[in-house]
Amino acid sequence: MLKLGIDDAGRGPVIGPMVLAGCLIDENAEKELRKLGVKDSKDLTQKRREILEKEIKKLCISFEVVMSNPDTIDNSLEKGINLNEVEAIMAAKIINKINNSKDKIKIVIDCPSVSILKWTDLLKMKIKNLSNLEVSCEHKADRNHIAVSAASILAKCTREKEMSKLKEKYGFEIGTGYPSDPLTCKFLEKNVIKYKDEGIFRKSWASWKRARDNLKQDKLF
């Protein structure tokens, strides 16, 4: 049975896209990826991720990467579609693209929700054909399954490339895009209004709203 691992990168940032990647592998590829040291992307340096990204793309049967930009995420939230559902839509898009309905495929996904059962049901509703699929959603799947680890590397590398594009345009002061990054916080505080219509910020995030409100207060005083 083939394995399709799916994982995300960039759920929490206030700047930049959320990325989901899927990696379809067989047993031989799984062994080779294990030998190469493929593991959860968070446990690897950026340089090592970039090296492994190339090897993963060579060894896997198929892979897909999808992105949701900040405006898409904000618009979804305005319509009452939460981030977990956005991720289910993205994961289903990957599955529907890769699934040829001929091979038996075990899908393993790093579950973004506290409720595994509820999110699994949500995902299944969005998959076109389940007849040849076995769907398994787990917490920490990126640590426990090579296919998911490989997907986590593809997702992380893609997001890093997108952030590099933003750094070229807006400067390295943009940081990682995460609210916990001091560089990102300073960039946000300084440019929250200036770049508010450029599609780089998730304006539904509390950190963006807080920076906007603080700037307005500063101007009043």
With 0.85 as the threshold, say if the pTM is over it. yes
Give residue 218's pLDDT. Answer: 60
Question: How confident is the model over 68-125, as pLDDT tens digits?
Answer: 999 999 999 999 999 999 999 999 999 999 998 889 999 999 999 999 999 999 999 9
Given a cut of 80, whether residue 27 has pLDDT beyond it is: yes
Q: What tens digit of pLDDT does each residue of 154-191 get? A: 999 999 999 999 999 999 999 999 999 999 999 999 99
3-state secondary structure the chain: CEEEEEEEECCCCCECCEEEEEEEECHHHHHHHHHCCCCCHHHCCHHHHHHHHHHHHHHCCEEEEEEECHHHHHHHHHCCCCHHHHHHHHHHHHHHHHCCCCCCEEEEEECCCCCHHHHHHHHHCCCCCCCCEEEEEECCHHHHCHHHHHHHHHHHHHHHHHHHHHHHHHCHHHCCCCCCCHHHHHHHHHHCCCCCCCCCECCCCHHHHHHHHHHHHHHHC
Is CATH 1.10.10.460 what the domain over 169-215 is classified as, yes or no?
yes
Predicted local confidence at residue 214, as pLDDT: 85
Whole-number percent of the chain with pLDDT over 70: 97
pLDDT at 37 (0 to 100)? 96
pLDDT tens per residue across span 28-41:
999 999 999 999 99
Domain spans of the chain? 2-166, 169-215
Q: Write the pLDDT tens digit of every residue in 11-24.
A: 999 999 999 999 99
The predicted model gives 37-55 an average pLDDT of 96
2-166: CATH architecture: 2-Layer Sandwich (3.30)
**pLDDT at position 51:** 97
Q: Look up residue 115 and give its amino acid.
A: S
State the pLDDT at residue 100.
85
For residues 132-137, give the mean pLDDT: 97
Average pLDDT of the chain to the nearest whole number = 95
